[in-house]
Structures are given as C-alpha cells and as structure tokens.
Amino acid sequence: MKQLFVNYKNTQYEFRFLELSRVIEIFKAGRYTYSMKCTASLFICNCPGSFYHRKCWHSEMIAEVMNTQEITEPWIDWAEEAGIEMYRKEVRNYERYKSYANVSGSSSYV
C-alpha cells in the first residue's frame, strides 16, 4: 500500500493505493469519499467532477501517489482486504440501484 496526504483548498485528503486490487481510495477529512479503479492502465475516478465533466483533480495526483514509498507493515494486508470489500460493496450497491431504476422506469438518474 502507498499513502499520500494532500492539502487541497484547505481540506486534508488522503490517497491510498491498494496494489492487490489496483484501487486508489480517497479519504476527505478522514472519511472515505471516492475511489479510483484501474482499468486498462487508466484510473477512473467516481467523483462528481469526473462523472459530469470527465476530469477531476484527483487524477492529477496519481503520479505522486505512485512515486511515494510503499508501506510494508503487517496491518497493510488487512487494510487492503478491507479496501477490496469496501469497493465491492460500493459496486454491488450501484448495481442494485441501477436495476431498481430500470425496473421502476425512472432511468433519468442512470
């Protein structure tokens, strides 16, 4: 796992790169907020800026996250497993929402 702390617009952000799952978790002011998944060597962010404008400042931080030194502590494996489960839960919730929106006929949000 690699960690990077950034102060952006007077808010503390923490980027965690989980190498096993190829996911970057983004914490804003100590709370899990966004994630970036690596697909075909590109990281895709799930923040509103990326969704609506197809760009976000989080993607600019990828090079810095990759250049930080890897943390090798015993608790890292547990953190990576928890991160993988958090990401999977997020995907399952999105899939449920998507299927509910399609069934109820209100596909304007999907």
- The predicted pLDDT at position 107 comes to 47
Gap between the Cα atoms of 34 and 32, Å rounded: 6
Say if residues 25 and 35 touch (Cβ distance below 8 Å).
Answer: yes
Gap between the Cα atoms of 1 and 16, Å rounded: 7
pTM of the model: 0.59
Say if residues 107 and 101 touch (Cβ distance below 8 Å).
Answer: yes
Distance of CA 102 to the CA centre of its chain: 25
* Three-class SS state of 38: strand
- E-assigned strands of 19-101? 23-28, 31-39, 42-45
C-alpha Rg value of the chain to the nearest Å:
15
Every domain of the chain and the residues it spans: 2-102
> What digits encode the pLDDT tens for the residues 40-94?
777 888 888 887 888 888 877 887 777 776 765 655 666 667 777 777 777 777 6
- The predicted pLDDT at position 109 comes to 45
Whether 105 shows a pLDDT value over 60: the answer reads: no
